[in-house]
Amino acid sequence: MTAALSPIDKAKYIAARRAVEFVEDGMRVGLGTGSTAAWMVRCLGELIRDEGMKITGVATSARTAELAREVGVPVKTLDEVRWLDLTIDGADEYDPNLNLIKGGGGALLHEKIVATASDQMVVIADLSKQVDTLGAFPLPVEVIPFGWQTTKALIEEMLSNVDVLGRSASLRLNGAEPYCSDQGNFILDLHLRRIANPAQLSLVLNQIPGVVENGLFLDICDVLVIGNADGTVEVRDINNGTVEHERIDITDTENLFVDSAE
């Protein structure tokens, strides 16, 4: 079964398998959005089915909630559980300080709310997401539809006063129509190439009228789990200052849900 996975999907699966080891019986767990997080949700489903683990999931998007229910992970709203023990999510980029760019899947607002309502955030990724400086991946910014072109112009004007290499913004589309988040908002992707001061940029972005939230996740990630196609995994704990290297043993007979790769 594992032979049917591409190297990148195998790396995502390895990271997800290691990350769910942080989940304990009875926990309230934030469930991220995206292809890597989808592997994690399926791994949690296996733990519930095969080991009888009892957890409550809080999904960061409608599609994650749907997948969780399909694989047997109970889902409640954040308002129902109020606070989470742990959130596991992916990232589009991460730097050496475990600062992130997220939102490629369009769920950045819910993802940031859920992550900050958690005692711990574990991020799962592969080495292709590692950068020295954030900005190669377009930075998503969620904006309200009303006056979005004015908001876009204000953002581009602001970018001339911060230390970035690119200063253009584009409206994310779904076919010929604007992409809409689960909150019904639009997403502007900022093509910055390099962000010298992420904290400053995050602050000024969120002060612009019409901006709901941005995809810079700063000082939120506690643990980064990096999967590799050869079965090895690296676990970086920024709070303890530790880096551990392990190997995840998998067999070709495991149920890897190979038809679920995104």
State which amino acid sits at residue 110: H
Measured in degrees and rounded to the nearest 5, phi and psi for residue 258 equal: -65, -20
Residues of the chain with CATH 3.40.50.1360: 2-129+219-260
State the Cα–Cα distance between residues 97 and 91, nearest whole angstrom.
14
Q: State the DSSP code for 42.
A: H
CATH of 139-214, one of 2.60.40.420, 3.30.565.10, 3.30.2310.20, 3.30.70.260: 3.30.70.260
Q: Which of 161, 111, 114, 172 has its CA nearest to residue 139?
A: 172
Alpha helices by DSSP H, listed for the chain, are: 7-19, 35-51, 62-70, 78-81, 108-116, 148-159, 198-205
Which residues contact residue 254 at a Cβ distance below 8 angstroms, ignoring those fewer than 6 apart? 1, 2
**pLDDT, tens digit (0-9, with 9 covering 90-100), for 177-217:** 999 999 999 999 999 999 999 999 999 999 999 999 999 99
State the Cα–Cα distance between residues 166 and 160, nearest whole angstrom.
9
Tell me how far CA of residue 134 lies from CA of 36, 152, 172, 198, in angstroms: 20, 21, 20, 8
Q: How confident is the model at residue 250 (pLDDT cuts 50, 70, 90)?
A: confident
State the Cα–Cα distance between residues 59 and 84, nearest whole angstrom.
11
Q: Supply the pLDDT for residue 254.
A: 52
Q: Supply the pLDDT for residue 249.
A: 82
Identified catalytic residue from 111, 142, 246, 254 = 111
Residue tagged 């950068």 (tokens): 131
User: Is 111 considered catalytic here?
Assistant: yes
Does the predicted model carry a pTM greater than 0.85?
yes
State the Cα–Cα distance between residues 117 and 119, nearest whole angstrom.
7
Measured in degrees and rounded to the nearest 5, phi and psi for residue 4 equal: -80, -10
Binding residues for substrate: 33-36, 89-92, 102-105, 129
Q: Supply the pLDDT for residue 123.
A: 98
Tell me the torsion sign for CA atoms 60, 64, 66, 69: negative
Over 60: is that where the pLDDT of 11 sits?
yes
CATH of 2-129+219-260, one of 3.40.50.1360, 3.40.640.10, 3.40.190.10, 1.20.1640.10: 3.40.50.1360
Side-chain half-sphere exposure of 17, counting CA atoms within 13 A: 23
Residues of the chain with CATH 3.30.70.260: 139-214
Alpha helices by DSSP H, listed for 117-196, are: 148-159
